[in-house]
Structure 1
Amino acid sequence: MSLLTSKIVFTIGIVLWLTIRILYQRQQKQNTIVDDRKTPEEKVIRLLVVSGILLLPLVYVLSPWLNFANYRLPVWTNELGIVILAASLWLFWRAHHDLGRNWSSTLQIREGHTLITNGVYHKIRHPMYTSVLLWCIAQLLLLPNWIAGFAGIVSFSIACLTRIDKEEQMLLEQFGEEYEAYQQRTKRLVPYLF
């Protein structure tokens, strides 16, 4: 597979990712927020992630500016990247779907918020983060560039280190023992490990 083809596939992935996100964001505008924990730090982290998984890859795909940092990968990595990208998009959609009205792109509790433990949430507490992790792996495989390829995994790692604990603390405060029990029977990001 050519570099152009892998760039096109990745761009199609971005369009699909944004379509899923926009559709669910529109639905959430109607929900009343009862606990909002957005902070300036949260906004910086979100900007970092968007830069790493969307902006820098698009600069690479649409311009030659980052070509100085290109490297070569075996052809099979592109095919694996496509499979992982497809899995990422499916999980991203499914996590939004399963959360329904409970979904928020930031640290918020909405009116009537319930703890979702079914669907993809049955084994993984944060499948949306898992989908982004898969996205970042696909990005590495489809965009063989030291900057654009690795920007996603770097920014996502920083986001995970700063956000997941805060999100889990908020859910513990909201759902108490019910969330503690849920934590005991699920994995944070990857099921069946450890």
Structure 2
Amino acid sequence: MSDPALLLVLLGFVALLGITQKFFRRTDATRGAAWWQTAAPFLLAPVVLIVARILGLSPITPDSWVKATGLVAVVPAAVSLALMFWTLGTHRIRIALFHQQDDAPQTLVTEGVYSQIRHPFYTSYILLFLAVVAVFPHWLTLALLIYLTVNLTLTAGREERRLSASQFGEQYQQYMARTGRFFPRSLRSHT
């Protein structure tokens, strides 16, 4: 495991924790099962990385790949951090953490990074977990990435249905038609 890449990835989780504590507003809803299901990989991934480093656990890739996978991890980790802060800078008001059920939209944000991606925070999380897999390629980190991606896809779908049914419904549906969920439409159309 590349120590510099590991530190960058862990910095991503520290930034995520800081943003979660300082930016997202709490609603009156309790942290139920759905919240814990979404939060679980964010809590587990840094622990897995630290324990793997301390115990010297082996990745599923050959040892000779450590330097290369460490370098590969830097790209999604750095882009994830940049995207987190770009998204944060786009907001004028705090939003609910994981858009809890009692959260009603107050505004529709479509500028900044949101002009290209509907869920840039989620994109930054997926990129961070790609970095987790690259820094420590293991079945457990791969499972966390898959779990997170499926969970965020389901969460984004629920949010989109709720926003489409809100007072911003027509405007949001037009917005959905021109932007990608996790990646810009221009990237998706070329893949």
Per the normalisation by structure 2, the TM-score is 0.80
Q: 1: distance between equivalents of 2:143 and 2:52?
A: 11
- Give the alignment partner of residue 165 of structure 1, picking from 157, 167, 183: 157
Pairwise CA distance, 1:103 = 1.8
Taking only aligned residues, the RMSD between alpha carbons, in angstroms, comes to: 2.7
Q: Does 1:134 align with 2:136?
A: no
Q: 1:47 to 1:59 in 2, by over 3 A?
A: farther
Q: 1:53 to 1:100 in 2, by over 3 A?
A: farther
Summarize the alignment of residues 117-128 of structure 1 with structure 2, pairs less than 5 Å apart: 117-128=110-121
Q: 1: distance between equivalents of 2:33 and 2:103?
A: 21
The answer for the alignment partner of 2:106 in structure 1 is 113
User: What percentage of aligned pairs have identical amino acids?
Assistant: 23
Pairwise CA distance, 1:139 = 1.1
Summarize the alignment of residues 34-113 of structure 1 with structure 2, pairs less than 5 Å apart: 40-61=32-53, 63-64=54-55, 67=57, 70-72=60-62, 73=65, 75-108=67-100, 113=106
Contact conserved, 1:6 with 1:143, CA < 8 A, in 2? no
The answer for the alignment partner of 2:182 in structure 1 is 189
Of residues 160-169 and 47-56 in structure 1, the stretch that sits farther from structure 2 once superposed is 47-56
Q: 2: distance between equivalents of 1:112 and 1:141?
A: 36
Per the normalisation by structure 1, the TM-score is 0.79
Pairwise CA distance, 1:111 = 7.0
- Number of residue equivalences: 183
Paired amino acid for 2:162: M
Q: 1: distance between equivalents of 2:146 and 2:138?
A: 14
Paired amino acid for 2:127: L
Residue ranges of structure 2 left out of the alignment (5+ in a row): none
SS at match of 1:17: helix
After superposition, the C-alpha distances for 1:113-147 in whole angstroms (9 at most, x for unaligned) are 10000000001111111111111111111123332
Q: 2: distance between equivalents of 1:179 and 1:94?
A: 21
